Amino acid sequence: MTAYLVRPILTLLGCVALLLASLPFAAASLAQTGTQDIYIWTYENDGSGSSTDACYVLLGYSQEGCDLNGDGAVLFEDVAYGTYTVRQTADLGPGRYVDDFTITVNGGVPDFAAFIVTTAAQEPEGPSGTRDLYIATVLGDASFYDACYVLVGYSLVGCDENRDGYVLFEDVAYGVYTVRQTADISPYGVYDFTIDFRPTTDNVFYAYVDDSPAVIPSSDLSLITRDPDDGELLRGACYELVGYSNIGCDENNDGQVTFADIPVGEYDVRQVTAPRGYDPIENFPITVTTSWDYLGIVVSQDSPQAPRGTDNVSIVFIDGNTFERVADDNICVSLINGSQAGCDESLIDGQVDFLGVRHGSYGIEVESLPRGYELWDPAQKVIVDGTDEFPNTVWFVYIVPIN
């Protein structure tokens, strides 16, 4: 049976790390990729306990997340490994704020603590009096209309409600203030800045949007449609990532639909058009990770994607020197006691797929490889355990040129 599927699971990442254990030059690179759920826990700075009113963004990376269930935590799902600045975006009231802080997400402890600073409201030092104050937001040479600001420890949040490029604060006492942008304007950002507001100064201050935002990790996503009974490639399907993408179709009739540069995260896949002669399948969730640079995701033309107690299995062949997939119709492999041989032939992409494999442990018997290659480790075994919600297991087999 031949098939090409690819689907990422957490156990896959573990297996890749093990396979690369004796390849130090590769392991260092791999350690920097992956995703993790994280929690931002908010506490009162005076030790009185948790706060349930906070919202945060990971600057230049995430949408706003809030404490929706009142447990004191804000959850961000599937955050790519990296270092992020966390910014509190909710209006906590005068004198109450959370300073920006930095976190590193690397697959370790998922919990991070944020502390609300509470300061007594007091008149700023300097000349007395009040006046209206405006923050004008600029992106390049044009006004920017989506910002909200707070004068840290002094004001409530003000926003550009009439979209004229200005945020108004009424009757502001003269003094020195830190201005903080609080709205979710991802992937852009405005850094904190200080203003000195006096009777002799203009009452308009300018905030400049950072137009060089952090790069959001992304990956191409390929969906490969196969018959659930015989694994044959099915052509003509169209898919949509619900609420995110335009509809993508199998325009070149190769059984594959590709979406380019999809940010890492969770999506629901909807089959807009089924292959000819088949009923549409139900929506199903996927998680895009940077590891998918290696992969294509097999879609079984059936609901659910795999019968209970089974997974679709993809064996992906990787060059141990270049760490790129090796696509060749001479690649044939079988799961010992689990399948007939499958070859990389109906869609030559470096993957061999088996649909509906029962959970268990299977030896991998490589029937043939491209000329000039051999197995890096002849003792190959794939574990199909169904430990996550995804119905697919991906296993990397490394091959190296024969010296």
d(CA 30, CA 28): 6
Give the model's confidence band at 88: pLDDT under 50 very low, under 70 low, under 90 confident, else very high. confident
What CATH number matches the domain at 10-31+217-401, 2.60.40.10, 1.10.101.10, 1.20.1250.20, 3.40.190.10? 2.60.40.10
Predicted local distance difference test score (pLDDT) of residue 243? 72
pLDDT tens-digit map of 251-277: 889 999 998 878 777 788 999 999 999
Enter the DSSP assignment of 233: B
Predicted local distance difference test score (pLDDT) of residue 123? 52
Reply yes or no on whether the pLDDT at 239 is more than 90.
yes
Cis omega (within 30 of 0) for bond into 307? no
Predicted local distance difference test score (pLDDT) of residue 82? 82
Give the model's confidence band at 144: pLDDT under 50 very low, under 70 low, under 90 confident, else very high. very high
pLDDT tens-digit map of 175-202: 889 898 888 787 788 888 999 999 999 9
Give the model's confidence band at 391: pLDDT under 50 very low, under 70 low, under 90 confident, else very high. confident
Residue 345's Cβ-count burial label (10 Å; 0-12, 13-18, 19+) is middle
Helix or strand holding residue 12 (H, E)? helix 10-19
Chain length of the chain = 403
pLDDT tens-digit map of 287-329: 787 765 557 889 999 988 888 889 888 899 988 888 888 999 9
Predicted local distance difference test score (pLDDT) of residue 9? 28
Reply yes or no on whether the pLDDT at 377 is more than 60.
yes
Reply yes or no on whether the pLDDT at 23 is more than 80.
no
Q: Is the pTM value of this prediction over 0.75?
A: no
Distance (Å) of CA 98 to CA 55, 86, 90, 120, 190: 10, 10, 10, 15, 16
Q: Which residues contact 54 (CB under 8 A, 6 or more apart)?
A: 40, 42, 66, 67, 74, 88, 90, 92, 98, 114, 116
Reply yes or no on whether the pLDDT at 373 is more than 90.
yes
Predicted local distance difference test score (pLDDT) of residue 10? 27
Predicted local distance difference test score (pLDDT) of residue 320? 86
Q: Concatenated DSSP letters for 278-345?
A: SPPPPPEEEEE-GGGGG--EEEESSSSSS-TTEEEEEEEEEETTT--B---TT-EEEETTT---EES-
Predicted local distance difference test score (pLDDT) of residue 230? 86
Predicted local distance difference test score (pLDDT) of residue 213? 57
Q: CA triplet 177, 100, 106: central angle to 5 degrees?
A: 170
Q: Which range has the top average pLDDT, 83-92, 100-109, 163-172, 296-305?
A: 163-172
Predicted local distance difference test score (pLDDT) of residue 16? 33
H-helix segments, 197-248: none
Predicted local distance difference test score (pLDDT) of residue 77? 92
Predicted local distance difference test score (pLDDT) of residue 194? 92
Whose structure tokens read 């004191």? 72
Mean pLDDT confidence for 352-368: 91
Residue 31: which of 103, 82, 98 has the closest Cα? Answer: 82
Predicted local distance difference test score (pLDDT) of residue 294? 52
Reply yes or no on whether the pLDDT at 354 is more than 50.
yes
Mean pLDDT confidence for 49-78: 88
The answer to whether 152 and 173 have CB atoms below 8 angstroms apart is no
Predicted local distance difference test score (pLDDT) of residue 122? 53
Predicted local distance difference test score (pLDDT) of residue 333? 93
First to last CA, the chain: 32
Residue 40: which of 50, 30, 28 has the closest Cα? Answer: 50
Domain locations along the chain = 10-31+217-401, 36-118, 130-208
Question: Domain 130-208 falls in which CATH fold?
Answer: Immunoglobulin-like (2.60.40)
Reply yes or no on whether the pLDDT at 99 is more than 70.
yes
Reply yes or no on whether the pLDDT at 60 is more than 50.
yes
Predicted local distance difference test score (pLDDT) of residue 91? 76
Predicted local distance difference test score (pLDDT) of residue 120? 60
Reply yes or no on whether the pLDDT at 22 is more than 50.
no
- Rg of the chain (C-alpha set): 27
- How confident is the prediction for the chain on average, in pLDDT? 82
Reply yes or no on whether the pLDDT at 98 is more than 50.
yes
Q: Which range has the top average pLDDT, 122-131, 140-149, 385-394?
A: 140-149
Predicted local distance difference test score (pLDDT) of residue 214? 57
Mean pLDDT confidence for 353-370: 91
Question: What is 36-118's CATH number?
Answer: 2.60.40.2070
Reply yes or no on whether the pLDDT at 43 is more than 70.
yes
